[in-house]
Amino acid sequence: MTVVAQRRLPRLGGFSAGLVALELRRLVRNRRTVVMTLVLPAVFYLAFGSSADYRAERAGDGNVAGFVLVSMAVYGAMLATTSGGAVVAVERAAGWSRQLRLTPLRPVAYIAVKLVLAMVLGAASVAIAFVVGAVTGAQLPAAAWVECGVLAWSCALVFAAFGLFMGYLLPTENVMQILSPVLAVLSFAGGLFVPVNQLGDTFATVARFTPVYGVGEIARYPLVHDGDLWPAAANVLVWTALFGWGAVWRFRRDTARV
């Protein structure tokens, strides 16, 4: 009589803090990723938002330097979460995702790890930008430091979904070289680099339909207490749902292949 041992499946489909930590260490070894997602937003703030005039001029309950800082923190969170999600393209190009199908790791757990990884990277990007801003003259009310940071980070989930979608859609390991200019254009079009009310009526109308607009409006609200908050929230929810659906669709097609 032959006894066949049953294969024990890991808890939570293989999702674990250890796996997230391992993936994070692997990601931060990429110097290009570290510079682009953790250093570049702080450098942009220093270059464009830390002048003496901006430190003296008021914006909402803080100064203009603080306003620019929140915008750059949103940009950093966008870059970081997109990069964390788009890393699946690198793994697909290297054949790693195909190898993972032979392991007990469940596909849902694999996606969950990538999302957590993206959000951890986004939190680090926001934190670094805020530390730089705090020591160079950016002014926000005490509560707004926390609220703007949390909102910039949490709303960037839409770009984690965007990164996953693009990672499965674009068959290239250089996906971030393609997406970085796209994010820069979206940031300009969505009023992140230039306030929407300075873009003219037509451009301002178009900006409200971009995925960046909602994140920027929500993240800056605790500072300026101005803006269309509910349309901005609807913008974030709709784009998150669309990118999430796209990521699931491409993921199912990818895992259906032998």
pLDDT digits (tens, 9 = 90+) for 21-45: 888 888 778 888 888 889 999 999 9
Specify whether the backbone of 137 is left (phi greater than 0), alpha (psi in -120 to 50) or beta.
Answer: left
Burial class (CB in 10 A: 0-12, 13-18, 19+), 203: middle
Residue from 100, 113, 86, 83 nearest 168 by CA: 86
Does 2 score more than 70 pLDDT?
A: no
User: What would the pLDDT profile of 184-230 be if each residue is shown by its tens digit?
Assistant: 999 999 999 988 878 788 888 889 999 999 999 999 999 999 888 99
Q: Are 123 and 150 in contact (CB under 8 A)?
A: no
Q: Which residue has the higher pLDDT, 171 or 90?
A: 90
Give the phi and the psi of residue 230 in degrees, each rounded to 5: -70, -45
Digit-coded pLDDT (tens) for 67-97 = 999 999 999 999 999 998 888 887 777 766 6
pLDDT band at 101 (very low <50, low <70, confident <90, very high): low
Lowest-pLDDT range of 25-39, 95-109, 145-159, 240-254: 95-109
pLDDT higher than threshold 50 for residue 4: no
Q: Quick one: CA dihedral 163, 147, 186, 31, positive or negative?
A: negative
What CA–CA distance (Å, rounded) separates 204 from 104?
A: 49
SS3 content of the chain, % helix, strand, coil (to 5): 75, 0, 20
Determine the Cα–Cα distance for residues 46 and 66; give it in Å rounded to an integer. 11
pLDDT tier at 156, thresholds 50, 70, 90:
very high
User: Per the confidence metrics, is the pTM higher than 0.75?
Assistant: yes
pLDDT over threshold 70, residue 254: yes
User: What is the reported pLDDT for 129?
Assistant: 96
